Amino acid sequence: MSATRPRYAEEAPFKIHGGCGLAGICDESGKPMSGEQIILAMAVQRDRGNGLGGGFAGYGIYPEFPDHFAFHLMYHDEQAREETEALLAEHCIVDLAEPMPTRPVKGISDAPLLYRYFLKPLPGELERLEMSEEDLVVRLVMTINATVDGAFVASSGKNMGVFKGVGFPEEIGHFYRLEEYEGHTWTGHNRFPTNTPGWWGGAHPFALLDWTIVHNGEISSYGINSRYLEQFGYKCTLGTDTEVAAYLFDLMLRRHGLPLELACKALAAPLWTEIDRMPEGERELMRSLRAVYGPAMLNGPFAIILGFNGGMVALNDRIKLRPLVAARAGSVVIVASEEAAIRAVASEPDAVWMPKAGEPTVARVAGMPWPIHGDLHLSPAEVSCAVLGTEDVCDEAVEVSA
């Protein structure tokens, strides 16, 4: 490292308090839609941001590379790019590396170096390291973000990508030429920073593997959440509360194998007074869940959309302190901070509703593998088995009633 090269400081020296807007669109039939749709939904919510962050995630956008991990990288300078590419080459075969396609857009300036890589682990690398390809990718992402000065991994999943930066969402969308992409699921975010100043890597969505998070609110439990995640090898280096939500979903859904409903209940846990009034079996389960995942619970007001290959999930905090509206138009499920954003995409939806506090709204793409443990409740013993990572056979699962 050159002694004359100043350390990259991603955060600006000022911040402006406010709120955020978000949206998600999923065609459950799997029919691809242009990225222009999510841009329209976010442009309606322009007043929910201040130009310090906008971004999108798209799924199914790289059909020519369905089995490659698509790394979207941001670099402060060429030295950061060289160090990152050397690190990737140690563990992966990069079949394509190229600058991200962009266009000049009024309002977008000071963009970092933007590159994308389509890669797979080197032959024999997983056996040598004794880990899965997902764990290898997570380790690479954590290493790059924590140790390569001036480099940031925006996304790292298969057949998906994150496109974000400093600007209003519609400006960011056109900057990245999203109208040229097609995907079955899109999420978008308009940032109005509340705790950290705006910078390109700090815009939403935040991603790890296929998981992406867009978030409106303030997670006051960031400190305990990040310390809890560090026990499992995650490194929270980006200085934003939303980062922990992406890593917590990866931990619970992929590594611990929790059903989606239980993961949501762990993050937006029922109040103890509510748990005390539940039927005995459910009460025991919720008490066990809160005991095991207490440090993972998200405190504070929030509305989030989790995107993944196979669909999306929208979730409010347990007393719904941030707006979230949902709608269905045929096979398309839409969620947003405002109903106006929904009607910009579907002027006459079949149904519009307000999701209940702490209850997930799920869109699932037909014919795609469901990357989540299953639609089952777990017993208290199984919750313990999951978090301890034991191989023991747990108690019999109880099917969720329709």
Structure tokens at 115: 């590159």
Closest CA to 378 of 285, 290, 271: 285
Quote the strand ranges of 80-150, DSSP E: 92-99, 113-121
CA–CA gap between residue 22 and residue 24 (Å, rounded): 7
DSSP annotation string for 52-84: S-EEEEEES--TTSTTSEEEEEEESSHHHHHHH
Query: Rounded CA gap, 199 and 349, in Å?
Result: 36
Residue 25: beta bridge partners?
186, 334
Neighbour tally for 351: CB within 10 Å: 8
Q: Is there a contact between 154 and 207 (Cβ–Cβ < 8 Å)? A: yes
Instruction: Report d(CA 160, CA 71) in Å as an integer.
Output: 9
Catalytic positions, written as ranges: 20
State both tokens at 121: 């682990």
> If you search the block for the tokens 């941030």, which residue do you land on?
322
* Token duo for residue 280: 């005995």
Give the SS3 label for residue 148: coil
